[in-house]
Amino acid sequence: MTLTEKAHELQTLLKGYGRVAVGFSGGVDSTLLLRAALDALGPENVAAVIADTPSMPRREFEDAMRLARGMGARCEVIDPNELGDSRYAANPADRCYFCKKCLFQGISDWAAVHGFSVVLDGNNADDAGDYRPGRRAAQELGVKSPLMEAGLTKAEIRELSRKAGLPTAEKPAMACLASRVPYGTPVTAEVLGQIERAEEVLRTAGFIQCRVRHHGEIARIEVAPGELPRLLEPALRETVAKGIKEAGYRFVTVDLQGYRMGSLNEVLKTN
C-alpha cells in the first residue's frame, strides 16, 4: 500500500474501535497514534493514559503531559508499579514482558472503569522483527496496535508526523531507563534515578541521541557516532565526567561504537 492508503487504513481501524485509551509516552509513534485517534473518533472518545513510573525520565513525563493536553486530549495518569513485581525487578531477559503486563493491565483496568472499550499501543510494523517480549503481554491483554496493523513503519510514521505538523516528527528514539541496565542486574528506583541524573548531564551538554548504560560503579556512555569527537574535547569531557560521577558513578567510560539501539541485547545474540 502507498502511504496515503496506509493512513486511510489507520483511520478505518480506529473508527471501528469505539472509545479508546491510548498508552501514551510522547514518543514518535504514540503521538501520531493519539493524533489519528482524535481525528477519527473525536476528543470525547479518546484518552491519553500516561504511566508515572521511575523508568520514565521526569523530562519525558512532563513533555508527554504537555503534548497530550496541547493536542486537546483527555489526559490520565496511572502508576503501573512495575517495581512491585519481583520478576520485573530481577531483570531477566524478558523483563519487558513483566513491565508491559503491569502497564497494560493498569491501563485496561482504568479503561474498564471509565467506559473506554479498547486499549491501544504504539507498536509499528518495524517492531514485528525486533526482540520485544512486551509485545506478548499486549497480545495477552487484547491491546490493539493499529499502526502495526496498518503496516506503518517508523519512517512512514515520521513522514505522517511531519505532514501533521507534530513536534515529535524528528524526535530521537527513547526507551525506558531500565533498558540501560544489563540483564540480571536488579532494577531499583535508586538505579533508575542514578541513570536519569547521568543522562541529564549529557542532555544539558547538548547531546540528543545518548544513553548511559549502567554497569555497577561504571557508567558506559553512548552518543551518536558523529558526536564522539565533541564528547572527547578535553573541556567537555571533564565536565561530563564530573557530572556523571556526581550522579553516583565512580568510573565513566565512552563506548567507541557509539549509540546503537538495544546494545544490551547484544549479549542475547551470543548466548
pLDDT of residue 199: 98
Query: Which SS3 state, helix, strand or coil, does residue 20 take?
Result: strand
Pair type for strands 218-223 and 210-215: antiparallel
Question: What is the 8-class DSSP label of residue 210?
Answer: E
Question: What is the 8-class DSSP label of residue 265?
Answer: G
Calpha distance 243→240 (Å, rounded): 5
The cell for 97 is 514482558
Q: Which residues contact 179 (CB under 8 A, 6 or more apart)?
A: 262, 264
pLDDT mean over 47-67:
97
Question: What is the 8-class DSSP label of residue 172?
Answer: P
pLDDT of residue 88: 97
From 75-84, 116-125, 257-266, the region with the lowest mean pLDDT: 257-266
pTM: 0.92
The cell for 102 is 503491569
The cell for 181 is 541496565
Residue-wise pLDDT tens digits, 111-124: 999 999 999 999 99
Decide if 52 contacts 141 (C-beta within 8 A): no
In angstroms, what CA-CA distances link 46 with 24, 58, 108, 113? 11, 24, 14, 14
Dihedral sign for Cα atoms in the order 238, 185, 210, 57: negative
pLDDT of residue 92: 96
Burial 42-69 (b: 16+ CB within 10 A, else e): eeebbbbbbbebbbbbeebbebbbebbe
pLDDT mean over 18-32:
97
pLDDT mean over 4-9:
98
Decide if 134 contacts 99 (C-beta within 8 A): yes
Question: Residue 271 pLDDT more than 60?
Answer: no
pLDDT of residue 75: 97
Residue-wise pLDDT tens digits, 163-210: 999 999 999 988 999 999 999 999 999 999 999 999 999 999 999 999
pLDDT of residue 188: 98
Calpha distance 59→80 (Å, rounded): 19
Pair type for strands 20-23 and 46-51: parallel
Give residue 132's pLDDT band: very low, low, confident or very high (50, 70, 90).
confident
Length of the chain: 271
With vertex at residue 175, the alpha carbon angle to CA 169 and CA 178, rounded to the nearest 5 degrees, is 165
Question: Residue 1 pLDDT more than 80?
Answer: yes
Give the burial class of 266: count Cβ atoms within 10 A of its Cβ; 0-12 exposed, 13-18 middle, 19 or more buried. exposed
